[in-house]
Chains A and B, each alone.
Chain A
Amino acid sequence: DAKTTQPNSMESNEEEPVHLPCNHSTISGTDYIHWYRQLPSQGPEYVIHGLTSNVNNRMASLAIAEDRKSSTLILHRATLRDAAVYYCMGLKTGANNLFFGTGTRLTVIP
């Protein structure tokens, strides 16, 4: 699976957009890019995933660089409930074991 690099922590003001970056320079052409988050004292929660094209869902948007070596998770309006650790992972086609790194701890300031 692709090695990913994320900043250890980020802060955002409530109701502002947040852009969480991830570098995955070793990703192969068939690896999916998955984002999960873990709220305090809870299990991981799926956020979004994509392969080549940008993706949108009710939680967030995923912008994937053209060379696929990086991606950005976009929370359009951060709420206090979005305070969590966000994990970016590469997942080979047909694979199903998620390898969580240390992620980015997002703090949302009221």
Chain B
Amino acid sequence: EPEVTQTPSHQVTQMGQEVILRCVPISNHLYFYWYRQILGQKVEFLVSFYNNEISEKSEIFDDQFSVERPDGSNFTLKIRSTKLEDSAMYFCASSVGTSADEQFFGPGTRLTVL
């Protein structure tokens, strides 16, 4: 069964450094998402991406964040200058369509900012 994959599984970085989290969505999916979950808290929507542009973003997704689909398979989340509060699990998801379709989530990348 097709699945969303994410790399790395765990990323440790120093405050102020840039990180790039990588995701490979399911190949025939058209919509891509990033969510995050701070330890012990709920899953929060960050951004959705369709047709090579951001379709929606939350208040969390500020200028420090960016997303890109650099080729036909990868979908990346970049954090330019990490803060301690960026430490969280970051989940990538993809779907064929919108509200009538299920989102498939990856296993997540645990980001630890020291």
Q: Is the CB of A32 within 8 A of B100?
A: yes
With contacts A97-B33, A101-B42, A102-B42 taken as known, whether A44 is within 8 angstroms of B102 at the C-beta atoms is: no
Q: Is the CB of B98 within 8 A of A98?
A: no
B residues at A contact (CB < 8 Å): 31, 33, 35, 42-45, 48, 50, 55-56, 58, 89, 91, 93, 95, 98-100, 102-108
Q: Is the CB of A96 within 8 A of B43?
A: no
Q: Is the CB of B55 within 8 A of A96?
A: yes
Bound CA–CA A98/B102 (angstroms): 10
With contacts A44-B43, A100-B43, A101-B42 taken as known, whether A94 is within 8 angstroms of B99 at the C-beta atoms is: yes
Q: Is the CB of B98 within 8 A of A94?
A: yes
Q: Total number of A-B contacts with CB less than 8 angstroms?
A: 69
Q: Is the CB of A38 within 8 A of B43?
A: yes
Q: Is the CB of A96 within 8 A of B31?
A: yes
Identity of the chain A residue whose Cβ is nearest the Cβ of B100 in the assembled complex:
A32
Identity of the chain B residue whose Cβ is nearest the Cβ of A102 in the assembled complex:
B42
Given A32-B100, A43-B93, A44-B91, 15 other A-B residues pairs in contact with their CB atoms under 8 A:
A38-B43, A45-B105, A92-B99, A93-B98, A93-B100, A94-B98, A96-B31, A96-B33, A96-B98, A97-B33, A97-B45, A97-B48, A98-B43, A100-B45, A103-B42
Bound CA–CA A46/B43 (angstroms): 14
Main secondary structure of the interface of B (DSSP, over half): strand
B19 to chain A, nearest CB (A): 19
Main secondary structure of the interface of A (DSSP, over half): loop
Q: Which residues of A contact B91 (CB under 8 A)?
A: 43-44
Q: Which residues of A contact B50 (CB under 8 A)?
A: 96
Identity of the chain B residue whose Cβ is nearest the Cβ of A95 in the assembled complex:
B99
Bound CA–CA A37/B35 (angstroms): 15
Q: Is the CB of A43 within 8 A of B107?
A: yes
Q: Is the CB of A93 within 8 A of B104?
A: no
4 A-B pairs with the lowest CB-CB distances in the bound complex, closest first: A43-B105, A46-B102, A100-B43, A96-B98
Q: Is the CB of A43 within 8 A of B45?
A: no
